[in-house]
Amino acid sequence: MGGRVLVVNEQGFLLADSDGSVVPKTLYATSGRPEIQRALEGTPFSEIRDSIDLGHDIMATAVPIQDEQRLLGAVRITRSVQQVNDNIRNITIGLGAIGLAALAAGMLLAFWLAGSLSRPLTGLAAAAKRLGHGDLSARAGDVSGAREVEELGQSFDEMADRLERSVHAQREFVANASHQLRTPLTAMKLRLEGAIAEAPDEAVRQRLLAADLEVDRLSGIVDRLLVMAREIEEGTSANVDLSEAVDRAVLRWKERAGQRDSTIVARGDGGAARVDPTDLDQIIDNLVDNATSYAPGEVTIESGGSNGQVFVAVLDRGPGIDPRDLAHVTERFYRGRGVPSDGSGLGLAIARQLVEKWGGTLNVESARAEGTRVEVRLDAAMTFTSP
């Protein structure tokens, strides 16, 4: 143990010394060695005290030696306090080293476990991202890992299968609806036009004209519903000249706007937007349709660009939108207060969704008796090449 052991008899005389430096029969039960006195009284005792002989502090511990109830003597063990402290320090360092090694091993094990758990989840997240961007063939595949992770991968693939079937069914519906709805509407339109031309009197002619307008309105609703169903298609972006898109819109709407007691005016500096041309035409058509339907008069189509973006805005001089309705006018099928009931409530909703598909924004500003301004902002194209 690196210490010194003394054995004394019941009178306190030395019997044995591990150092052999003291003559046996020397009296050790003295006031300078209280631990021996206490042990000879039958009580174990320990203390730290200064050793005159050694010149440094020692820890002395003495216990009695007994045979049943009979005291035979005492044993004392002394060690240098510095040695004890050194041993404690060495033990502490050893425990610290073991703790650090265990911590390092735990961290390595944790990293390994985290990697084994995150790898399948990372693959699953990548598949979900591809699916979200329109890749209907994206699947997680065979996901290895914990049972819960494997079940999650299977559930994801089942969901993707159902989504793909649903999208394909929707596309089939779009094609069938386009054929089934447009054909009878076109035939009805032709018959009404023939009947209008052969109307026997003005009253009948006016009723037929009203029916013809209803057919046009129904055709517009059908077109909007088909556009909404087709929003699942990504489309192909191109550099679209806004000035040309606005000019095309003016030509398309010139005659129809006149029938609604409206005029179409174009102004602005134009610009080039990164968007699908068909989507942009549909956006402008919906905004102009709303303006000429609910605010007859002068309607302005404005275009321009600033801060890395371009915009197209449609302004009317109508009565404006009720402030309570302003936050909801881009919701599907929403009908504002005091708005005629012959609309579909889809125009602004479709325009907003088409704009957001290309990373843009649609903002509606309106004030009572001052008109309404609907602005569409899109990312500007870096370059533009005329077709």
**CATH code for position 84:** 3.30.450.20
Based on the fold, state whether residues 247 and 373 are members of the same structural domain: yes
Owning domain of residue 153: 147-227
Based on the fold, state whether residues 68 and 104 are members of the same structural domain: yes
Q: Is residue 138 part of a domain?
A: no
Based on the fold, state whether residues 210 and 246 are members of the same structural domain: no
Based on the fold, state whether residues 208 and 254 are members of the same structural domain: no
- For 167, the enclosing helix (H) or strand (E) is helix 147-197
CA–CA distance, 318 with 364 (Å, rounded to integer): 14
Distances (CA, A) of 170 to 220, 233, 352: 20, 11, 21
Q: Is residue 27 part of a domain?
A: yes
Mean pLDDT confidence for 216-240? 66
Query: What are 122-149's pLDDT values in tens digits?
Result: 777 888 888 777 677 888 877 776 777 7
In 3D space, the residue among 298, 209, 215, 210 whose CA is nearest the CA of residue 253 turns out to be 298
Q: Is residue 197 part of a domain?
A: yes
Based on the fold, state whether residues 240 and 374 are members of the same structural domain: yes
At 321, list the tokens.
Answer: 């939108």
Based on the fold, state whether residues 273 and 305 are members of the same structural domain: yes
Based on the fold, state whether residues 265 and 303 are members of the same structural domain: yes
| Domain boundary residue, one of 227, 259, 285 | 227
| Banded model confidence at residue 378, pLDDT cuts 50, 70, 90 | very high
At 15, list the tokens.
Answer: 């019997």
Q: Is residue 44 part of a domain?
A: yes
Instruction: Give the bridge partners for 66, in sequence order.
Output: 71
Mean pLDDT confidence for 235-239? 67
At 179, list the tokens.
Answer: 């054929």
| Domain boundary residue, one of 204, 227, 250 | 227
Burial of 379 (0-12, 13-18, 19+ CB in 10 A): middle
Cα–chain center distance at 276 = 28
Q: Specify the number of domains making up the chain.
A: 3
Q: Is the pLDDT of residue 384 over 50?
A: no
For residue 242, what pLDDT is reported?
92
Other Cβ atoms closer than 10 A to 161: 12
Given a contact cutoff of 8 angstroms between Cβ atoms, the answer to whether 138 and 127 are in contact is: yes
Based on the fold, state whether residues 10 and 97 are members of the same structural domain: yes
**CATH code for position 182:** 1.10.287
Q: Which residue has the higher pLDDT, 174 or 103?
A: 103
SS3 content of the chain, % helix, strand, coil (to 5): 50, 25, 30
Please spell the DSSP secondary structure of 311-347, one letter per residue.
EEEEE--SS---TTTTTTTTSTT---TT--TTS-S-H
Q: Is residue 386 part of a domain?
A: no
Based on the fold, state whether residues 157 and 54 are members of the same structural domain: no
Query: What are 10-52's pLDDT values in tens digits?
Result: 998 999 988 877 677 888 888 888 888 889 988 899 888 776 6
Based on the fold, state whether residues 223 and 271 are members of the same structural domain: no
Based on the fold, state whether residues 305 and 266 are members of the same structural domain: yes
Q: Is residue 286 part of a domain?
A: yes
Out of 86-90, 177-181, 299-303, pick the least confident: 177-181
pTM above 0.85, yes or no: no
| Banded model confidence at residue 8, pLDDT cuts 50, 70, 90 | very high
Q: Is residue 142 part of a domain?
A: no
CA–CA distance, 343 with 296 (Å, rounded to integer): 15
At 113, list the tokens.
Answer: 């476990």
Burial of 349 (0-12, 13-18, 19+ CB in 10 A): buried
Given a contact cutoff of 8 angstroms between Cβ atoms, the answer to whether 377 and 309 are in contact is: yes
For residue 174, what pLDDT is reported?
66
What share of the chain has pLDDT > 90, as a percent?
A: 20
Residue with tokens 């058509």: 285
CA–CA distance, 364 with 376 (Å, rounded to integer): 9
